[in-house]
Copies of this chain bind each other. A is one copy, B any other.
Amino acid sequence: MAMIALGFFALLAAPAAADLFPDCVHGPLSNNTVCNTNASVADRAKALVAALTNEEKFNLTGNTSPGVPRLGLYSYQWWQEALHGVASSPGVNFSTSGDFSHATSFPQPILMSAAFDDALINAVATVVSTEARAFNNVNRSGLDFWTPNINPYKDPRWGRGQETPGEDTFHLKSYVAALIDGLQGGLNPPIKKVIATCKHFVAYDLEDWITTDRYNFDAIVSTQDLAEYYMQPFQTCARDARVGSIMCSYNAMNGVPTCADPYILQTVLREHWNWTDDGQYVTSDCDAIQNIYAPHYYEPTREQAVADALTAGTDLNCGTYYQTHLPAAFSEGLFNQTVIDQTITRLYSALIKLGYFDPPSATPYRSLNWSDVSTPAAEALALKAAEEGIVLLKNDGLLPLSFPTDKNTTVAIIGGWANATTTMQGNYFGIAPYLHSPLYALQQLPNINAVYGGGFGVPTTDGWDELLGAAGEADLIIIADGLTTSDESESNDRYTIGWQPAAIDIINQLSGMGKPTVFLQMGDQLDNTPLLNNPNISALIWGGYPGMAGGDALINILTGKAAPAGRLPVTQYPADYVNQVNMTDMELRPNATSGNPGRTYKWYNNAVLPFGYGLHYTNFSVAASAQGQAQTQSGPSSNSSQGQGTSYNISSLVSSCDRSQYAYLDLCPFESFNVNVTNTGSKLASDFVALGFISGSYGPQPYPIKQLVAYQRLFNISAGASATATLNLTLGSLARHDENGNAVLYPGDYGLLIDVPTQAVLNFTLTGSQAVLDEWPQPPTKG
């Protein structure tokens, strides 16, 4: 298909300005209602579809759309990427130099999520959509972006966990709502800024594990886990953030390939979540339609496979299977005219919602240009995003570093990440204006003699003598190492989550030389026990994939120019965890039969470092209170219950919800809690993330250890000063999911746990009868 598309592009390439949007003034469609901006989206789309032959419609179902030249509908590439900045992808075309040769490259989501700062995410997404529109205005990008990846990161082996905001559903939901708003230009605006795509719907979660891969995986998921965990981020994305597009995934779930599953795409997505706004469409992951035929072998013929997908509600095929096999499937009567018309209606309604058939004056976006790309503010935001996300895991007091100003300090910077550049971008990245490595940033400091030592060479000992030599000459050793996309990436899960034994050998030799040693652990989580237990390593920082300003951010944290306040967005598991649970095991709860010890902080209690963990350069105390309720005592060891607290009646809570304001009961407010935070240190200011978890013995067993229900990042709290976070809990904060996936409020004793480790607890009680907040649609009975 690539070659055919190229042909069309070549054909239409000459009038470069003209082939971006259809000519609604003089073009063949000028008298078609699609060009009438006063008509409804539905009427406009209907008029366009009426003008198309079936052959043309089938040709429009692939991501590399040839358009319809006779109607002046230009070719269109539906596939753009922008995971953390406008990214190289089939529809994005960076110039080789000058204007549009780069775009702002933010940290990977796994690091940005560690900031626990939704406003930051919204600001980042706003920059991304602005830059995307600027690229689009010069025909260097389409307007449909296949981002974000919101599959919850439940297994540390997953190669694409770095693309996500982590393991927790509440965190994912908050993050994605802020992100979609920034990308699309608000909540379901009249004209979308760009279309975002929540992927991969649903129960994706692995790349390759022994003989199982993402293409052949059949995820066996209970209705309880599905509703409670795997669907939650998509519920927010589709139901609440009104995303423009959803991508169905490669895998099957409970025997049905998701792109061919009407339960997932129709019953849950479109009916239960009312995801039926104009132009909302489902795209397949790339060649997921082919995968229905093989390796899922869900249908015996290719024609039945494409008919299943189209009928189930997959509107766009990334790939060529639709275009190749839909015509025969239609001839064989495997789907009817209504189905293909609905598909094309959805796709072109999406373009209408982007202002594709509108004059430039219809939106503020058509005037964005190169001056709006990679602005100083955007570049500062990329630095801030990295600084906010970085997590301090260990510090014996060496940090923040202070260097003598009257003489030079020799710093050896060693490891595979020491001079990382594109490595800092992880995957799905674009061309950045610059890539400041840790070495580069170190070299910018005054009075520093930076000695670069290179990587560990593991599993060989190549270069170890040189590393030891460099360390021997230094006053301070910075080791920057960890995972890269060679270790974890698309199609490449990890089998191990511990450090390579040879790496620990050379790390121990380096840190054992009697020099102060700081460790920057980069990439995703590893079992850092050997580093945490090594008394010669004074400080340990987790830096993820920090993007184009990553080195600046890391060095700013080391010197205290920025103070670390990020929190782990995932559990750091012990290395042996991979031997305790199969990658293919989708169950969240511990299971004595399978040996699954439980997944995520919600069900697993033996972390090396827990979800939400993160130190500061100062100390904080917290005191929490329900607004208008008695205040609890604060203190680092006050993990015990503080008495019974307040009672709430369930039926009163439900009936007092203003349903004109809240369409869904789980979104109704329950109570707001104040968390008063005091910087008890004497010198340094710092941000602080207030985290609130709910815990209690109520609802179906087993009970989760706790569940995040609210967070707020407080900024720049000076030494001795206080600030107050407000944690707004909803009825959904208190809900548990029963075996049928229903979200239910249960009577019982609840605790609101503040911070990690818990620094304060507020107790309250729910009384009365249980109430269903969301009645989950049941999957079809097995045939």
Contacts and interface: CB of A to CB of B under 8 A. Distances in A.
A2 interface: yes
Interface stretch (A98-106, A499-507, A584-592): A499-507
A410 to B, nearest CB: 19
B324 A290 contact: no
A4 interface: yes
A595 interface: no
Contact of A495 (B210, B459, B466): B210
Given A216-B501, A287-B460, A290-B461, A466 B211 contact: no
A462 B2 contact: yes
Contact of A320 (B461, B500, B501): B461
A321 B501 contact: no
Given A211-B495, A287-B459, A466 B502 contact: no
User: In the complex, which range does the number of interface residues on chain A fall in?
Assistant: 35 or more
Contact of A465 (B286, B320, B461, B501): B320
Contact of A290 (B2, B294, B505): B505
Contacts of A466: 3
A495 B302 CA distance: 27
Contacts of A4: 465
Interface in A511-540: none
B286 A460 contact: yes
B502 A287 contact: yes
Interface in A288-302: 290-291, 293-295, 297, 302
B465 A208 contact: no
Contacts of A578: 211
A215 interface: yes
Interface string A409-434: 00000000000000000000000000
Interface in A706-728: none
A496 interface: yes
Contacts of A287: 459-461, 502
A744 B501 CA distance: 43
Interface string A301-312: 010000000000
Given A210-B210, A287-B459, A459-B287, A464 B505 contact: no
A155 to B, nearest CB: 14
A321 B291 CA distance: 49
A324 B464 contact: yes
Copies of the chain in the assembly:
2
A39 interface: no
A208 B495 contact: yes
Contacts of A465: 1, 3-4, 320, 324
B460 A501 contact: no
Contacts of A297: 501
Nearest to A296: B501
Contact of A502 (B295, B459, B495, B496): B295
Contacts of A320: 461-462, 464-465
A319 interface: yes
Contacts of A505: 290, 293-294, 302
A463 interface: yes
A211 B579 contact: yes
Contacts of A302: 505
A2 B463 contact: yes
Interface string A1-39: 111100000000000000000000000000000000000
Contacts of A210: 210, 495
B463 A215 contact: no
Given A208-B495, A211-B578, A578-B211, A463 B3 contact: yes
Contacts of A1: 461-465
Interface in A270-293: 286-287, 290-291, 293
Nearest to A463: B2
Interface in A456-513: 459-466, 495-496, 500-502, 504-505
B294 A504 contact: yes
Most buried by B among A208, A465, A578: A465
Contact of A501 (B294, B462, B495, B502): B294
A459 B211 contact: no
A502 B294 contact: yes
A4 B500 CA distance: 25
Contacts of A502: 215, 287, 290-291, 294-295
A321 B461 contact: yes
A1 B463 CA distance: 6
Nearest to A64: B462
B208 A501 contact: no
24 contacts: A1-B463, A1-B464, A2-B462, A2-B463, A3-B466, A210-B495, A215-B459, A286-B460, A287-B459, A287-B460, A287-B461, A287-B502, A290-B502, A290-B505, A291-B502, A294-B502, A294-B504, A295-B501, A302-B505, A319-B461, A320-B461, A320-B464, A320-B465, A324-B464
Closest CB pairs A-B (n = 3): A295-B501, A294-B501, A287-B460
Given A211-B496, A319-B461, 16 more contacts: A1-B461, A208-B495, A210-B210, A210-B495, A211-B578, A286-B460, A290-B461, A294-B501, A294-B504, A295-B500, A297-B501, A319-B462, A320-B461, A320-B462, A324-B464, A324-B465
